[in-house]
A and B are shown apart, each in its own frame.
Chain A
Amino acid sequence: MNNELLKQQIIEALNLEDLTPEDINDDAPLFGEGLGLDSIDALELFMLLDKQYGIKLQNKEEGKQVFRSVNTMAEYIEQHRTK
């Protein structure tokens, strides 16, 4: 899984136009004190996983685990992608 590609997809999906992939740390939390994303961003990440990787997460709790950081997302995608 290419972390740089995933970061680019996150930036596009969440309209973080002022950021570049280099601004996002692989291990930093995406929510809360990290990038400052909110619950609507989490919903957009659900859509991103579905559209780009054919992954349908079950619920928000699962989302919280998967969306902890770019690394956790990349790891999950690697294991569960259907496209």
Chain B
Amino acid sequence: MRIVVTGAGIVSALGVGKESHVHALLNEQSGITAPCQLQTNNPLPVGEVKASNDELKSLLHIKQKEVISRTSLLGITAAREALEESAITDTAQMAFISGTTVGGMDYTESHWVKKEHFFRDIVQTHSAGSTTEQTAAHIGTFAYTATLSTACSSALNAIITACNMLRCGNVKQVLAGGAESLSLFHYNGFRSLQILSAEQCRPFSGDRQGLNLGEGAAYIILESEESALQRGAHIIAYISGYGNACDAYHQTASSDTGEGAYLAMKKALQMAGVTTTAVDYVNAHGTATQNNDSSEATALQRLFNNGETLLFSSTKGYTGHATSAAGSIELVISMLAMQHGFVPANIGWRLPIPNTPKPTLHTLNKTLNVVLCNSFGFGGNDSSILITKSPTNKELTEENDITIEELSCVEVLSDADWKQFISPMVGRRLTTQMRCLLIAAKQAMTQNRISQPDAVITGTDWGCIHNTTALLNQLTEEGEDSMSPTLFMQSTHNTPSSLIAIQTANHGYNATYSHGKDSFSQALLDARMQLKLGLIQSALVLGFEEPDETWQQLTTQANTPYQPLAKAVILQCHA
């Protein structure tokens, strides 16, 4: 089958809607400014959406008194535009798959000091999954909703899952992408990692000083070519291939060889049956940190025959790094570039990195038929999607009739003997529950004699809530300069999944679902779909919920208590 895109919506620092993006890109106008919406004592340039929450609510006709996260408001803005373009009016048979990490953090952090008073709203708006549900509530009824949370690659992974659902025939159409708003929590977390730039970011420049955080949302409508033709929809692009791989190197740094990035891009090209010479343009992740850009450039050079003739650019000089929304924002930018026939400029660039190819510095008029879009996240969660203007020769396979075996489930309740399984230098940083999960994963792999499952997929409702509440306390009690980098780098929902990949050197597919009580079943469904599609032969599926006194108290008060969990299951195709 072939998968096509029939609608797209976008909001970022460049404005609301596709038109404002095309205009800014063609005129090389950056959206990066000093922060206006984000109330920080340490202002650094950001890619903010230039509208307050109240203004967004008016624009969207949402009641001012409704408690809703900025992430959802941005999501609704983009989703409505995508649906409108696709001319779909009834969403009841569709799936909605979204990616976010920050979720409702903006509400949580601004009410944390009085959490005992605002517990109900905090618990209801905080999670990644609730952001998706709140977005859905304002756009339509969906047959299925799910949330991916793989840090900065969340949106691309949501689109990858959407493609797998279409290939398995689970639904006819999917709305997929990601949304993320700025929060003091991750702004100061990134500050603690010392990777924010004091000036407009300079991706792939020899004098780059770090990234600018951004925010926004972008969603696309995906369906089979057959469905689009049947209803006479306009086809914007084909999703011809995609790849997800884990760098399995470090929670916040990419490897020197760019292994995860290289594998993700290679998988995408292979799936599409496209050679590297056919790629007209790569929209790189290009955050403008020292580490990302040198690692990604190495991966590009490895895959594209030293990259000398490759046209590539990072568009983060326009939008900033919109973290979980970056993937879909940049995929929509790639589609706009394809539709309008231009390579977006890599603005901000000043000096070459020695022995590294130069990105495209100015908007270049060019017909684009094949475009690759990269998005990488903390923990080395790297993904890449290949879009084409026309169908490629190779069709995407559909599901096979196979039997899936669910092997023994390992649940670990105590980390008392963690030193038998985990080295002291690794274990010292982990919470009790992270150690339990790592032990469970290792035991499940040993018991079933599977040392390298093809996929590591985690489901978690609250993610790394213990580190999160500790960071919220630091932020609200001691101020913006007090957030611990160790806690921050282990606060994203995908920390457990990437921890296991790093500790077992697993470069396979890696993803995390965070959608309330459905998180684990969504992780299982992902594994089952990929097994049926022949994309993987085995999968390690993990369930993770962390005990935390404060959070357990708040959720219990709100009548939604949860149980700590650290379990591992292995699924494989029956031989």
Residues of A at the B interface (CB closer than 8 Å) are 14-18, 36, 39-40, 43-44, 46-47, 50-51, 59-60
What residues of chain A lie closer than 8 Å to B194, measured between beta carbons? Answer: 43, 46, 59-60
Q: Which of B252, B424, B481, B482 contacts A40 (CB 8 A)?
A: B252
Kindly report which residue of chain A lies nearest to residue B490, judged by CB atoms. A40
What residues of chain A lie closer than 8 Å to B482, measured between beta carbons? Answer: 47, 51
A47-B424 contact, Cβ under 8 Å, with A15-B429, A40-B489, A60-B194: no
Q: Which of A16, A39, A47, A60 contacts B484 (CB 8 A)?
A: A47
What residues of chain B lie closer than 8 Å to A43, measured between beta carbons? Answer: 192-194, 485-486
Kindly report which residue of chain A lies nearest to residue B290, judged by CB atoms. A60
Q: Which of B192, B252, B253, B428 contacts A47 (CB 8 A)?
A: B192
Number of B residues whose C-beta is below 8 Å from A?
Answer: 16
Cβ contact within 8 Å between B485 and A16: no
Q: How far is the CA of A33 from the CA of B484 in the complex (A)?
A: 24
Cβ contact within 8 Å between A44 and B428: no
Cβ contact within 8 Å between A15 and B428: yes
Q: How far is the CA of A44 from the CA of B483 in the complex (A)?
A: 10
Q: Quick check: is B425 within 8 A (CB to CB) of the other chain? A: yes
Q: How far is the CA of A17 from the CA of B489 in the complex (A)?
A: 20
Q: How far is the CA of A12 from the CA of B220 in the complex (A)?
A: 48
Q: Which 4 A-B pairs have the closest CB atoms?
A: A43-B485, A15-B428, A18-B424, A40-B486
Cβ contact within 8 Å between A40 and B428: no
Q: How far is the CA of A18 from the CA of B419 in the complex (A)?
A: 11
Kindly report which residue of chain B lies nearest to residue A43, judged by CB atoms. B485
Q: Which of B193, B252, B424, B481 contacts A50 (CB 8 A)?
A: B481
Nearest Cβ distance between residue B567 and chain A, in whole angstroms? 26
Q: List 11 A-B contacts (CB under 8 A).
A: A15-B429, A40-B251, A40-B429, A40-B486, A40-B489, A43-B194, A43-B485, A47-B482, A47-B484, A50-B481, A59-B194
Q: How far is the CA of A15 from the CA of B467 in the complex (A)?
A: 14
Cβ contact within 8 Å between A39 and B253: yes
What residues of chain B lie closer than 8 Å to A39, measured between beta carbons? Answer: 253
Cβ contact within 8 Å between B428 and A17: yes
A14-B428 contact, Cβ under 8 Å, with A43-B192, A50-B481: yes
Residues of B at the A interface (CB closer than 8 Å) are 192-194, 251-253, 424-425, 428-429, 481-482, 484-486, 489
What residues of chain A lie closer than 8 Å to B253, measured between beta carbons? Answer: 39
Cβ contact within 8 Å between A36 and B486: no
Given contacts A39-B253, A40-B251, A47-B484, 10 further A-B contacts (CB under 8 A): A18-B428, A36-B425, A40-B429, A40-B485, A43-B193, A43-B194, A43-B485, A47-B192, A50-B481, A60-B194
Q: How far is the CA of A6 from the CA of B485 in the complex (A)?
A: 20
- Residue of B193, B251, B428, B489 ringed by the most chain A CB atoms within 10 A: B428
What residues of chain B lie closer than 8 Å to A44, measured between beta carbons? Answer: 484-486
Q: How far is the CA of A14 from the CA of B150 in the complex (A)?
A: 26
- Residue of B193, B194, B482, B484 ringed by the most chain A CB atoms within 10 A: B194
What residues of chain B lie closer than 8 Å to A36, measured between beta carbons? Answer: 425
What residues of chain B lie closer than 8 Å to A60, measured between beta carbons? Answer: 194
Q: How far is the CA of A59 from the CA of B209 in the complex (A)?
A: 11
What residues of chain B lie closer than 8 Å to A40, measured between beta carbons? Answer: 251-252, 429, 485-486, 489
- Residue of B193, B253, B425 ringed by the most chain A CB atoms within 10 A: B425
Q: How far is the CA of A72 from the CA of B44 in the complex (A)?
A: 31
Q: How far is the CA of A36 from the CA of B429 in the complex (A)?
A: 14
What residues of chain A lie closer than 8 Å to B428, measured between beta carbons? Answer: 14-18
What residues of chain B lie closer than 8 Å to A59, measured between beta carbons? Answer: 194
- Residue of A15, A36, A40, A50 ringed by the most chain B CB atoms within 10 A: A40
Nearest Cβ distance between residue B425 and chain A, in whole angstroms? 6
Q: How far is the CA of A38 from the CA of B485 in the complex (A)?
A: 12
What residues of chain B lie closer than 8 Å to A16, measured between beta carbons? Answer: 428
Nearest Cβ distance between residue B481 and chain A, in whole angstroms? 7
What residues of chain B lie closer than 8 Å to A51, measured between beta carbons? Answer: 482
Q: How far is the CA of A44 from the CA of B424 in the complex (A)?
A: 18
Q: How far is the CA of A51 from the CA of B484 in the complex (A)?
A: 11
Cβ contact within 8 Å between B425 and A47: no
What residues of chain B lie closer than 8 Å to A17, measured between beta carbons? Answer: 428
Nearest Cβ distance between residue A83 and chain B, in whole angstroms? 14
- Residue of A16, A47, A59, A60 ringed by the most chain B CB atoms within 10 A: A47
Kindly report which residue of chain B lies nearest to residue A17, judged by CB atoms. B428
Nearest Cβ distance between residue B364 and chain A, in whole angstroms? 35
- Residue of B481, B482, B486 ringed by the most chain A CB atoms within 10 A: B486
Q: How far is the CA of A60 from the CA of B425 in the complex (A)?
A: 22
Kindly report which residue of chain A lies nearest to residue B252, judged by CB atoms. A40
What residues of chain A lie closer than 8 Å to B424, measured between beta carbons? Answer: 18
Kindly report which residue of chain B lies nearest to residue A14, judged by CB atoms. B428
Q: How far is the CA of A15 from the CA of B435 in the complex (A)?
A: 15
What residues of chain B lie closer than 8 Å to A14, measured between beta carbons? Answer: 428
What residues of chain A lie closer than 8 Å to B193, measured between beta carbons? Answer: 43
Q: How far is the CA of A47 from the CA of B487 in the complex (A)?
A: 12
Nearest Cβ distance between residue B291 and chain A, in whole angstroms? 9
Q: How far is the CA of A15 from the CA of B424 in the complex (A)?
A: 10
Nearest Cβ distance between residue A20 and chain B, in whole angstroms? 14
Nearest Cβ distance between residue B275 and chain A, in whole angstroms? 37
Q: How far is the CA of A44 from the CA of B429 in the complex (A)?
A: 12
What residues of chain A lie closer than 8 Å to B425, measured between beta carbons? Answer: 36
Nearest Cβ distance between residue B555 and chain A, in whole angstroms? 27
Q: How far is the CA of A25 from the CA of B192 in the complex (A)?
A: 28
What residues of chain B lie closer than 8 Å to A18, measured between beta carbons? Answer: 424, 428
Kindly report which residue of chain B lies nearest to residue A47, judged by CB atoms. B484
Q: How far is the CA of A4 from the CA of B481 in the complex (A)?
A: 26
Q: How far is the CA of A46 from the CA of B484 in the complex (A)?
A: 10
- Residue of A15, A39, A43 ringed by the most chain B CB atoms within 10 A: A43
